[in-house]
Amino acid sequence: MTALNYSCFACFYKLDEILCRLYVDIRKDDVVLPKHPEIIFVMLNPGSCDNEGKFCEEVRVKPDATLHRIITFMQAKDLCHGRILNLSDIRNEKSGNFFKMLAGLEKEGNSKHSIFHASREKNLLSLAPETVPVLFACGTNPKARYLLNAAVNFFGNDRIINRGLNFYHPLMRPNKNRERKWLDLVLGLNLQPIRKVYGLSL
Q: pLDDT of 18-68, one tens digit each? A: 899 999 999 999 999 988 999 999 999 998 777 777 888 999 999 988 999
The three-state DSSP-derived secondary structure of 64-82 is CHHHHHHHHHHHHCCCCEE
The secondary structure of the chain in percent helix, strand, coil, rounded to multiples of 5, reads 35, 20, 45
pLDDT tens digits for range 80-139? 999 999 999 999 888 889 999 888 888 888 889 999 999 999 999 999 998 899 999 998
99 within some domain: yes
15 within some domain: yes
Report which of 87, 73, 93, 60 is spatially closest to residue 170, judged by C-alpha positions.
73
CATH code where residue 80 lies: 3.40.470
Query: Measured in Å, how far apart are the chain's first and last C-alpha atoms?
Result: 27
What is the extent of the structural domain holding 145?
A: 6-198
* Across 177-184, average pLDDT: 62
Report which of 120, 191, 124 is spatially closest to residue 159, judged by C-alpha positions.
191
Number of separate domains in the chain: 1
The segment with the largest mean pLDDT, out of 7-16, 155-164, 177-186, is 7-16
Question: Facing residues of 13 across strands?
Answer: 20
Report which of 86, 80, 195 is spatially closest to residue 138, judged by C-alpha positions.
86
- Predicted model pTM: 0.87
68 within some domain: yes
74 within some domain: yes
Which tops the pLDDT comparison, 180 or 38? 38
Strands 81-86 and 39-43: parallel
Q: Is the dihedral of CA 93, 143, 135, 82 positive or negative?
A: negative
126 within some domain: yes
